[in-house]
A and B are shown apart, each in its own frame.
Chain A
Amino acid sequence: MDAALQLTVENLIARYVHAIDDDRLEDWPGFFVEKGRYRITTAENFERGLPLSIIYADSRAMLADRVSALRHANIYEAQRYRHTVSSTLVERIDEHTASATSNFQVVRIMHTGESMLFASGRYLDRIFMSGDGDEPQFQERVVVIDSRSVDTLLAIPL
């Protein structure tokens, strides 16, 4: 195992989930390369080879649009997430790229105090190890949620 690679990737994933849980959504697009792809899909669509996503972005600009829509356009009740991410399986693809697979659970906490297990699933990542500022960035993050059902709405990204 490449311990340095493992730590670097786990640190990227940790910084990502803390940015979301701490409501620093403006930092979220910066975890991706400029042409980075991000999508959320269900295990059912994923396993059947169906392309539909719940969220689909193929650039950092599309991620930035998500954030500005959440801040300025869309109506939804105040809510936060708390991510828990499993230890990560990391594999080097080539000199500059690694793949990573992690499990996650997200608890959603509504302003009313109601907490629920909102989503569980897998992160399937392809990571460019020397992105902006020589930091690793996601080339692709596919979020595969285990259930086909989403309660009420999915506003904040997973």
Chain B
Amino acid sequence: MSAVPASRAWPPEGLARVPYWIYQDEDIYAREQERIYRGDAWNFLGLEAELPEKGDFKTTFAGEMPVVATRDETGTIRCFENRCAHRGALLCLADRGNAKEIACVYHNWTYDLQGNLTSVAFRRGIQGQGGMARDVDPESQAPRKFRVEIFCGLMFATLSDETPPLERYIGPEVAARIRRVMKEPVKILGGYTQVLQSNWKLYFENVKDTYHASLLHLFFSTFRLNRLEQKGGVVVGGEGGSHVSYTMMRSNQAGDEYERAGMRSASGGYALEAPQMLESVDEIGDGVTLQILTVFPGFVLQQIMNSLAVRQVLPKGVGRTELVWTCFGYASDDAKMTELRMRQSNLVGPAGYISLEDGAATGFVQRGVQGAAVRASVVEMGGRGVESSESRVTETSVRGLWQQYRRHMGL
């Protein structure tokens, strides 16, 4: 197990402080790979709808570890390491496809869709010459298999037997909020990747940070999509690393706290020429116009009006993260509903009126703390604890992230 230097002790204030070395340290990063992504946490792999047919596969990652997710010949979702037992080459090179078996291109060792090594080319040699002795056990180096759980069409995988069952890991209140969005079969509308020049935790904190949303994102506050005085709340679940925040439909009697406080995000004089982009349908029927949900360490589910998406947060080094977006609608959508979702897709992704700013903000922190490894950020909005809250002027779900993170990391 990689050691953490003694100088890397967590500040005595506990969850109310986050030391900046946590975003910078190579040893910490290596330990995260081992204790979180390859440890007792659930990795999000994608939507089950990405693998509709028997034999469908996709390649993705559990942290930095390459994995293959398949739907095997029995229709079961499987996940295994994308590494040949022989010399360690990637087994699957394609992003996705359909196959009966998987053959390593290097020496043609083949695997079934569950990740079992099924044949070694010329294992007994040719005409009695060469080959491998009978007592060699290449299966001992076979790709590692993950435990897979599907919840509401979302695929998760873990290498550890210690990881609690998925729904318990997520927590009942947050799980209920997943069911709310994943209420019926989905239709994939497409995807893209946003490359963030920051540590993965800065992005995961950003998604959980209900305090920033209406202050950074002028779009939210100007059009009263999300102001902190609007009705809503934040629920922290599981060991602290799951959360859901939500905002109720805007109302005309909404206050003017932002204007009175002189917030940049309420600077007036800004209106849309094509306001139909913000016309939405209350398709879930509960008046919640915005719901952002996370599951530690790398899953985000988004409902911004009628823009629905999952985001997979993948670490790519201490200072680099890939955010893999998959936008979806429901299989029952008609052409008009798809068109409405397409208009609202302008809010999200690398060019999203809201999300583009998150791409920049996490990088501002990564660069801002370059000379401040031993200093710490102040995370005391809404107190020092981890609890659900009706107010979103709080950082409770950010502290929840650190609570679960520190337990995994032994920090």
Contact = CB atoms under 8 A, between A and B. Distances in A.
B357 to A, nearest CB: 5
Contacts of B409: none
Interface string A36-78: 0000111011001011111111110110110011001111110
Interface stretch (A7-15, A91-99, A133-141, A143-151): A143-151
Contact of A154 (B222, B270, B277, B350): B350
Contacts of A52: 189-192, 327, 342, 345
Given A65-B273, A73-B218, A150 B350 contact: yes
A53 B272 CA distance: 20
Contacts of B273: 61-62, 64-65, 68
B343 to A, nearest CB: 6
B232 interface: no
B261 interface: no
Nearest to A48: B190
Contact of B194 (A48, A68, A150): A150
A73 B222 contact: yes
Contacts of B349: 54
A26 to B, nearest CB: 13
B45 interface: no
B151 interface: no
B176 interface: no
A153 B363 CA distance: 11
A120 B356 CA distance: 20
B360 interface: yes
Contact of B345 (A53, A59, A73): A53
Going nearest first, the 5 A-B pairs with the smallest beta carbon separation are A52-B190, A50-B190, A150-B350, A61-B274, A153-B356
Interface of B: 95, 188-197, 216, 218-219, 222, 267, 269-270, 272-274, 277, 322, 327, 338, 342-343, 345-346, 349-351, 353, 356-357, 359-361, 363
Contacts of B343: 56, 58
B373 to A, nearest CB: 22
A151 B197 CA distance: 8
B272 to A, nearest CB: 5
Nearest to A154: B351
Given A40-B351, A45-B191, A51-B189, A152 B359 contact: yes
B195 A151 contact: yes
A149 B322 contact: yes
Nearest to B325: A52
A107 interface: no
A113 to B, nearest CB: 14
A73 B219 contact: yes
Give the one of B222, B270, B356 with max A CB within 10 A: B356
23 contacts: A40-B351, A41-B190, A52-B345, A53-B342, A54-B349, A57-B274, A61-B274, A62-B273, A65-B272, A69-B353, A74-B353, A75-B360, A149-B322, A150-B192, A150-B350, A151-B197, A152-B196, A152-B197, A152-B360, A152-B363, A153-B194, A153-B356, A154-B356
Contact of A148 (B189, B192, B342): B192
Contact of B190 (A45, A64, A73): A45
B195 A152 contact: yes
Contact of B270 (A55, A58, A73, A76): A73
A26 B385 CA distance: 48
A155 interface: yes
Given A149-B194, A152-B194, 4 more contacts: A55-B351, A149-B193, A150-B192, A152-B195
Contacts of B196: 152
B356 A76 contact: yes
A149 B272 CA distance: 29
Contacts of A64: 273-274
Nearest to B197: A152
Contacts of A153: 194, 350-351, 356-357, 359-360
B325 to A, nearest CB: 9
A88 to B, nearest CB: 25
A25 to B, nearest CB: 14
B346 A56 contact: yes
B191 A148 contact: yes
A62 B342 CA distance: 13
B357 A75 contact: yes
A54 B189 contact: no
Contacts of A73: 218-219, 222, 270, 353
B342 A51 contact: yes
Given A52-B191, A54-B192, A154-B356, A65 B338 contact: no
A155 B192 contact: no
Given A56-B346, A76-B360, A148 B193 contact: yes
Contacts of B350: 54, 150, 152-154
B190 A69 contact: no
Contacts of B361: 75
A107 to B, nearest CB: 17
A153 B191 CA distance: 15
Contacts of A53: 190, 342, 345
